[in-house]
Amino acid sequence: MTTRLLIRRGRVIDPTQGIDEIADVTLAHGKVAAIGRAAEQPGDQVIDASGKIVCPGLIDMHVHLREPGNEDAETIASGAAAAVAGGFTSIVCMPNTKPALDTEAMIEFVYRQADRARSCNVFPIGAITKGREGKELAEIGQMVRAGAVAFSDDGVGIASATVMLRALQYVGMFNRPIIQHCEDADLAAGGCMNAGFTATRLGLPGIPAAAEELMVQRDLLLAESTGCAYHVAHISTAGAVQLVRDAKRRGIRVTTEVCPHHLLLTDEFVEQYDTNYKMNPPLRSKTDVDACIAGVADGTIDCLITDHAPHGREGKELDFQAAPFGIVGLEVALGLFAKALVAPGHLNWNQLIARMTTAPARILGLRKGSLALSGDGDVTIIDPDLPWTVDTSLFQSKSRNCPYEGWPLVGRATHTIVGGELKFALEGSPSSMVA
Amino acid sequence: MTTPSHTAPQRPLAAQPPSPAGGAPTPLESPPQVSWPHKNLLGLEDLTAAEILHLLDTAKAFEDVSTRSVKKVPALRGRVVVNLFFEDSTRTRMSFSLAAQRLSADVIDFSEKTSSLNKGESVRDTVRNIEAMGVDLIVVRHGAAGVPHLIARNVQCSVINAGDGRHEHPTQGLLDIYTMRQVKSRIAGLKVAIVGDVVNSRVARSNIHGLTRLGAEVTLVGPTTLAPRSFERFGVRVCHDFDSVIGEFDVINMLRIQRERIASNVFPSLGEYSRLFGLSNERMKRAKADVLVMHPGPVNRGIEMSPEVADGARSAILRQVTNGLAVRMAAMFLCKQAGEAT
Ligand SMILES: [Zn+2]
C-alpha cells in the first residue's frame, strides 16, 4: 500500500503512551508512521479530525457471529461490517456456533472468512470442551497454534468443577485466559429473566443472582490454586462484582467485562414480554446496575464489551420463555457506554477508551490497542459530541434484536481505520485526497 | 413464622383509588359511567377499579340469561369466537364456549399441542391463519406466560386470556370477585385469604390484582416456598401460619395443589401440606361462622380441603362455576364492543 493516511488536528488519545493532545496521526504501509505535525504530500488521503477524538481502534472481546451454522442471523462478514460501523477495528468471537469452534480447522475457518470479508480483525476464541459439552477438553494446544486467543464454552458455564480445574491447569500452559460464562445451570434451570419482583409479576421463571455468584466464587478458588488467567464473562450482579474486587485484592489473576445493557437497563424493562429485553445474564436490579457502574469506575471491571448476539426475527418473535437469549450491540455500544459512563462522570473519555482498547488487548495478549510507532494502523475517530438516534433499520448487522430503537445518544465513531485502510466513514464525515 | 405486615404497593398501577362503589353495591345499582376501552383482556393488572366494576356490573346484567327458557341474547350474533387451547382445560373451555353461545356467537374449539422446540412459532402462524378465516375474538390458554400478549400483537381481533403459564387468569379472578361481591355485597374492606401455591398460580395473581384494586385486604397463606414474602410488594400480607390468622377472614380462596410440586421440593409431602395448610373440618371451626370458601377447581379432596368443607354450606365452588358464564359473557361482549369502536 503506497498511499498514506493523514488524520489531521484530532485530539489524539493513546492510554498506552499517556498521549492526550491535539496532533496529526500518519499511517503508512498499514502501520502507525508518526504522531505529531505532518506535512501533506500528493496522493495522501486526509481526514480532518478537528473536534474529534483519534484513538487506537476499539476492540470488542465478546461477540457472537453465528457462522458457521446460523448465517441467516449473522455471518463473519456482516458481523465485521457491523463492527466497523460501530467503531471497532477488532472483534473477538465466541465459539458457540454450530458446529462449535472446537478444533484447529474451525479456528482456521474463522480467520479465512475474516480475510475474505476484508473488514475488521476477527480473533476467534476456542471452545474449552469438545462440542461445548463440558465433558472432555477440546484440542486446546492445536487451537492455540491456529490462533485461538482464549478459551470459553460461552453460552453455558463449565458445570463440573473437575473439568474446570483441568481446563485452568491445561490452558495455563499456553498462557491464554479461560473466559467463563458464570451460571450454575441447576439454579438457573428454566429461568428466562432475573429472579425478582418483575418476574413474579409476569409469572416468568427467574434466574437468581446466586446462579452467577456461585460459579464466580467456585472458579476464583480454582483459579487461585492454578494461577491461570481467569476472565469472568459479562458480569451482571453486585455480588459477583464484589467477589472479583476481593479476589483482585488478594492477587488472583482475574479480569472481567460488562455489557452496556447491564449498565443502562434493569429487569423492570421487561414489560409486555418484549423479547428484545431477554438476554443472558438477564437484566438485573437497580442495585446490580449501580454495582456494575461502580465496578467500572474503580477498575474492578476491566473492559467493556457488547456480547453482540444476533437472532433472526423468527426467533425473537417466539413467546418470552421460548425465545432465545441475546441482543445485538456492535453499532450502538460506543454511544451507550458514553451515556452510561462518560455523561454521568464515572469515566472520562481517556478512561473509556482504555477500557475498550488497552484492556482487552492486554487480557488477550493482542498486539493491538495502541498507537505506538510501527504498530498496526488500527484507528477509531470519535465525535464525542455528535447527537444521533438509534435506527435499527440502518444496521449493518443482519439482525435487529435491539431494545434501543429510537434512543437518543451522544457520541459516535465517524471513521474506522483498519491496518491503515479506511473501512468505515459515517455519512457526512468523508475523507479527501491531496491532489 | 412471619409477622404479618402490610407493604405499600410500589407499582403505580396498584395505587388506584378505592372502589367508587364505596362498599356495598346492590344488585340494582346502575353500572358506573365508565367506558370500557380494552379490546383485549390480558390481565387484571391492566384494569382500573372502575373498569373492573363496570365488567362485574355488565356480568350482572347477563346473569339472568341463564335462567330464561331461551338462554341466548343476540349480542354477538354473526361473530366468530375461537377457543384456542394450547393446554388442556375442559372446564374453562366449556365455560367460554357456552358463554359465547349464549351471546349467539359461532364458536370453534381449537386445541393445538405444540412441540417445545417451536411452540412460539406455531402460535404466531396459528393465530394468523385463524384470523385470516374471519375470526372476531380469540380466547387463548397457554402454558407459557405472555403468549396472549404475543397473540394480541399479531392479530387485529380481540384476545381474551384464559390462563397463561403462571401469569394471569383474568376471567377466573373476575368470577371469584363477582362471587365474593354477590355473597358479601361488597369488596372494599373485605378480608380475603388466598391459600396455597401462590407462586405458581395465575389465579392468585389475577385475584391479587383485582382484589387489591377494589380495596379488599388480601392475605396470602402458604409455605415460604409457595407464598414468599416477595409478594408483599403487591400490597398484600403474607403469612405462613394458617391457624394464627384463620379467624380473620370473610373469604378463604383455596388454590389447587399440583402433586408434581413435591418433586421440586417445595414441600415434603401432601400429608404435611394438608396438615399445615388444608381446610380441614377442624380448622374450619376456627373460621368465621359466615366465612365464604372458594376454590377454582378441580378440588383435590382431602388435600386442599375436606370433602365436607368442599360440599358444605360455606362453599361457593359451584356458584363460582355458574358465575363464570356471566363474567365470561361480559368480558367477551365488552372486548368485542371496544374492538369494533376503534
Ligand atoms: Zn455468555
What pLDDT, on the 0 to 100 scale, is given for residue A131? 97
Contact by Cβ (8 Å): B84, B114? no
Tell me what the mean pLDDT of segment B257-283 comes to. 92
- Tell me the pLDDT tens digit for each residue of B72-89: 899 999 999 999 999 989
Q: Which of B128, B123, B102 is nearest to B111 (CA)?
A: B123
Compute the distance between CA of residue B140 and CA of residue A94 in angstroms, rounded to an integer. 39
CB count within 10 Å of CB B37 equals 11
> Dmax of chain A from CA atoms?
67
Question: Is the CB of A203 less than 8 angstroms away from the CB of B202?
Answer: yes
What pLDDT, on the 0 to 100 scale, is given for residue A428? 84
Q: From the CA of A307, how far away is ligand 1's center (Å)? A: 7
What pLDDT, on the 0 to 100 scale, is given for residue B318? 96
What pLDDT, on the 0 to 100 scale, is given for residue B34? 59
* Ion ligand 1: protein residues whose beta carbon lies under 5 Å: A 154, 181, 233
Q: From the CA of A276, how far away is ligand 1's center (Å)? A: 16
Question: Is the CB of A317 less than 8 angstroms away from the CB of B205?
Answer: no
User: Taking CA atoms, what residue in A is nearest to B150?
Assistant: A319
Q: Which of A9, A3, A92, A113 is nearest to A53 (CA)?
A: A9
- B residues 154..173 contacting A (CB < 8 A): 164-168
> Tell me, what's the ipTM?
0.87
- Look at residue B33 and tell me whether its pLDDT is greater than 60: no
Q: Taking each helix axis as running N to C, give the angle between helix B170-184 and helix B317-341, from 0 to 180 degrees, rounded to the nearest 10.
A: 120
Among residues A14, A267, A307, A376, the one annotated as catalytic is: A307
For chain B, counts of helices (H) and of strands (E): 11, 9
Contact by Cβ (8 Å): A390, A402? yes
- Look at residue A189 and tell me whether its pLDDT is greater than 50: yes
The pLDDT confidence band at residue A117, using thresholds 50, 70 and 90, is very high
Compute the distance between CA of residue B339 and CA of residue B81 in angstroms, rounded to an integer. 13
Q: Choose the closest CB to A317 out of B120, B142, B144.
A: B120
**φ, ψ for residue A149, nearest 5 deg:** -95, -15
The pLDDT confidence band at residue A314, using thresholds 50, 70 and 90, is confident
Compute the distance between CA of residue A180 and CA of residue B186 in angstroms, rounded to an integer. 57
Secondary structure in 3-state letters for B190-226: CEEEEECCCCCCHHHHHHHHHHHHCCCEEEEECCCCC
What pLDDT, on the 0 to 100 scale, is given for residue B122? 76
Compute the distance between CA of residue A321 and CA of residue B173 in angstroms, rounded to an integer. 24
Compute the distance between CA of residue A73 and CA of residue A235 in angstroms, rounded to an integer. 25
Among A69-78, A160-169, B122-131, the least confident range: B122-131
Compute the distance between CA of residue B63 and CA of residue B99 in angstroms, rounded to an integer. 11
The pLDDT confidence band at residue B126, using thresholds 50, 70 and 90, is confident
What pLDDT, on the 0 to 100 scale, is given for residue B340? 85
Q: Choose the closest CB to B205 out of A203, A205, A322.
A: A203
Q: Quick one: cell of B210?
A: 383485582
What burial class does residue A384 get, using C-beta atoms within 10 Å of its C-beta: 0-12 exposed, 13-18 middle, 19+ buried?
middle
Compute the distance between CA of residue B253 and CA of residue A409 in angstroms, rounded to an integer. 50
Is the preceding peptide bond at A310 cis, omega within 30 degrees of 0? no
Tell me what the mean pLDDT of segment B97-116 comes to. 86
CB count within 10 Å of CB A359 equals 22
Phi-psi region of A283 (alpha: psi -120 to 50; beta: other; left: phi over 0): beta
Q: Quick one: cell of A166?
A: 483441568
Question: Bigger pLDDT: B113 or A421?
Answer: A421
**Helix, strand, or coil here: B267?**
coil
Tell me what the mean pLDDT of segment B48-54 comes to. 97
Question: Bigger pLDDT: B215 or B18?
Answer: B215
Contact by Cβ (8 Å): A190, B264? no
What pLDDT, on the 0 to 100 scale, is given for residue B19? 38
Compute the distance between CA of residue B96 and CA of residue B107 in angstroms, rounded to an integer. 9
Q: Could you tell me where the beta strands, DSSP code E, fall in chain B?
A: 80-85, 106-111, 137-142, 158-164, 191-195, 217-221, 237-239, 251-254, 292-294
Which residue blocks in A330-383 are alpha helix, DSSP H? 333-337, 349-356, 358-364
Q: What is the pTM of this model?
A: 0.91
Question: Percentage of chain A surpassing pLDDT 90?
Answer: 95
Question: Bigger pLDDT: A431 or B234?
Answer: B234
Compute the distance between CA of residue A17 and CA of residue A75 in angstroms, rounded to an integer. 35
Q: Quick one: cell of A213?
A: 455468584
- Look at residue B321 and tell me whether its pLDDT is greater than 90: yes
Q: Quick one: cell of A91?
A: 472483534
- Look at residue B29 and tell me whether its pLDDT is greater than 70: no
The pLDDT confidence band at residue B114, using thresholds 50, 70 and 90, is low
- Look at residue B297 and tell me whether its pLDDT is greater than 70: yes
- Look at residue B70 and tell me whether its pLDDT is greater than 90: no
A340 DSSP 8-state letter: I
Q: From the CA of A183, how far away is ligand 1's center (Å)? A: 9
**Helix, strand, or coil here: A392?**
helix
Tell me what the mean pLDDT of segment A142-170 comes to. 97
Q: Could you tell me where the beta strands, DSSP code E, fall in A308-428?
A: 379-389, 408-418, 421-425
Q: Quick one: cell of B193?
A: 385469604
- Tell me the pLDDT tens digit for each residue of A37-75: 988 999 999 999 999 999 999 999 999 999 999 999 999
- Look at residue B32 and tell me whether its pLDDT is greater than 90: no
Question: Bigger pLDDT: A217 or B19?
Answer: A217
Q: Which residue has the cell 413464622?
A: B1
What pLDDT, on the 0 to 100 scale, is given for residue A99? 97
Active site annotation includes A186? no
User: Taking CA atoms, what residue in B is nearest to A272?
Assistant: B149
The pLDDT confidence band at residue B119, using thresholds 50, 70 and 90, is low
Share in percent of chain A as helix, strand, coil (round to 5): 30, 25, 45
A136 DSSP 8-state letter: S
Contact by Cβ (8 Å): B218, B237? yes
Compute the distance between CA of residue A410 and CA of residue A362 in angstroms, rounded to an integer. 28
Q: Provide the sign of the torsion angle of the four alpha carbons A158, A162, A167, A172, taken in this order.
A: positive
Question: Is the CB of B168 less than 8 angstroms away from the CB of A273?
Answer: no
- Tell me the pLDDT tens digit for each residue of A213-229: 999 999 999 999 999 99
The pLDDT confidence band at residue B21, using thresholds 50, 70 and 90, is very low
Tell me the one-letter amino acid at A296.
V
- Look at residue B342 and tell me whether its pLDDT is greater than 80: no
- Look at residue A328 and tell me whether its pLDDT is greater than 70: yes
Instruction: Please state, rounded to an integer, the average pLDDT across all residues of chain A.
Output: 96
- Tell me the pLDDT tens digit for each residue of B190-240: 999 999 999 999 999 999 999 999 999 999 999 999 999 999 999 999 999
- B residues 133..152 contacting A (CB < 8 A): 142, 144-147, 149-150
Tell me the one-letter amino acid at B131.
E
- Look at residue B94 and tell me whether its pLDDT is greater than 90: yes
The pLDDT confidence band at residue A389, using thresholds 50, 70 and 90, is very high
